[in-house]
Amino acid sequence: MRVLFVASEVAPFAKTGGLGDVAGALPQRLAERGHDVRVVMPLYPRVRAHAPDLETVVSELAIELGATRVVVSILEGTFPGTRAPVYFVRCPGLYDRPSIYTQDADEHLRFVVLSWASLLLCQRLGFSPDIVHANDWQTALLPLLLKTAFAWDRLFERTRSVLTIHNIGHQGAFDARILAETGLAGSAQHFHQDQLREGRINLLLTGILYANALTTVSPTYALEIQRPEHGAGLDAFLRERAGVLFGILNGVDENAWSPEGDAHIAQRYSADSLEGKEVNKRDLVRSAGLAYHSHVLVFGVVSRLAWQKGFDLCFGVLPRVLARRPVQLVVLGTGEPKYEDFFRGLSRQFPSQVAYRAAFSEPLAHKVEAGADSFLMPSRYEPCGLNQMYSLRYGTPPVVHRTGGLADTVTPFDRRTGEGNGFVFEHFDEAGFAYGVDQALRTWGTGRGEDRARWQRLQRNGMRLRFGWDERVTRYEQIYRSVQPPGPAQV
């Protein structure tokens, strides 16, 4: 199949979170199966570090969006390691900014342009996609573009669209004044009419209404977003489309994330050589400026510090735990000031126990996964979550809230039977989180002797699991096929 895969971030070129990881891995796995996959993303300044040799394939592409005219060019590169092509939309005026996402007044335009450019590129290349795969609100206009502005072109006659919802908390909800700049002012009747009357346009909703199939990134989240509690206002629309909404758990890119092959960590290890993990623990705590004691439990955090991630629960719980127990904590993450301030404050209050790095660092993220004993992920909601899967894989049993993809991957450890791979709390409140942390501490015990043997059993339960892409890619292929129109494909 010919697949056009469009995303606002794609690892290794640019990444702020799991979308980048998935948009990097899934197209490459599809390409390995013989599909003709073309990835399109913006040319952010940081891309150049991972793609030094880019070739201009379209030097000037004019996009008319009402009174706004944007001219872009398109550069072609490939993923390092595979030959799958990646097209970068160059438009310094829109993409040369300090961060991938902004609060700027033209945020809508930055990604409307990406969506338009990707279809215009198909026309220039004569590439007739069977599937246009859009991701999150940034590219959720694509299904409607195919049904309106590009419907005249026979190139797209057989093209069907799939929209993956990685996070319903971000919807691309804008003032309806942006209508002209979607380039679809003449198709205003296709936007949700009540919202338009109220002066709003919601790009994710537009995608939900028009995509031929919808996917989200775990089975539990697929159910959760159909209920008011987690639907962020879109649950009714998703219930209407439940017949074409599929929950597919993300995979883990084993090339990047496995303790046996990780290039960033002090020593590689496996379930059979857990001494290797101990070397990473020593490396992590020492380089974080803490003293290393093998029997002291080290918690790790790697995260965007956003409301979604539930760190509010740490405010009351962690100071109490740190004051009473000799545990240590290493945190890597940036985001909302109140969480950054909290972890900074914690490291000052407990300087021999807590280290906080306010940075985005790929190498350090790997070191925390490998070096911590247990991983904290108290997310309020979590569509899939990759970090808990990395943690399981690295023998770093996670403490998680039972929600979304966390519920689908982490099972509570039972000290009697030795079954289970982590610590799961049910209620999103301080008592719930305190219970989860306490379960980890009780299981850790003295960190020696029999307690250590029990902990290793828990570690191995998680390390045995594989969250490989293979099965998931097959599911995506099935969904792609299910939306194909009948009749022979064009060549």
From 18-26, 99-107, 147-155, 458-466, give the range in contact with ligand ADP by CB under 6 A. Answer: 18-26
Q: How many CB atoms lie within 10 A of CB 478?
A: 11
Query: In degrees rounded to 5, what are phi and psi of residue 135?
Result: -135, 120
Kindly tell me which residue out of 386, 399, 410, 479 binds ligand ADP, with binding defined by CB under 6 A.
386
CB 309 within 8 A of CB 334: no
Contact partner, 403, from ligand GLC, ligand ADP, none, Cβ < 5-8 Å per class:
none
Listed ranges 51-59, 357-365, 380-388, 473-481: which one lies at the site for ligand GLC (CB under 6 A): 380-388
Contact pick of 347, 387, 391, 443 for ligand ADP (by CB under 6 A): 387
Give yes or no for a contact between 298 and 327, defined as CB atoms under 8 angstroms apart: yes
Contact with ligand ADP (CB under 6 A) among 303, 403, 421, 439 = 303
List Cα–Cα distances, 356 to 220, 330, 446, in angstroms.
32, 6, 25
Considering CB under 6 A, how many residues would be counted as binding ligand ADP? 18
CB burial class (10 A; 0-12, 13-18, 19+) of residue 283? Answer: middle
Spell out, one character per residue from 324 to 343, where the chain touches ligand ADP: x when CB under 6 A holds, - when not: --------xxx---------
| CA-based nearest residue to 4, from 88, 114, 118 | 118
The only residue of 4, 7, 10, 21 in contact with ligand ADP, by rule CB under 6 A: 21
What binding mask, one character per residue, do residues 339-378 give for ligand ADP by CB under 6 A, x or -? ---------------------xxx--x-------------
303 binds, among ligand GLC, ligand ADP, none (CB under 5 to 8 A by kind): ligand ADP
Bond preceding residue 412 cis, omega within 30 of 0: no
Q: Which is nearer to ligand ADP, 160 or 380 (CB)?
A: 380
User: Two tokens at 133?
Assistant: 């795969």
- What does the alpha-carbon distance between residue 128 and residue 148 come to, in Å, rounded to a whole number? 17
Does 222 bind ligand ADP (CB under 6 A)? Our answer is no
Q: Are 464 and 456 in contact (CB under 8 A)?
A: no
Q: Is 462 in the site for ligand GLC (CB under 6 A)?
A: no
Task: Give the angle 116-122-125 at the CA atoms, nearest 5°.
Answer: 140
Determine the 3-state secondary structure of 6 from DSSP: strand
Single out the residue of 7, 11, 14, 22 in contact with ligand GLC (rule: CB under 6 A).
22
User: Would you tell me which residues interact with ligand ADP (CB under 6 A)?
Assistant: 17-19, 21, 302-304, 332-334, 360-362, 365, 384-387
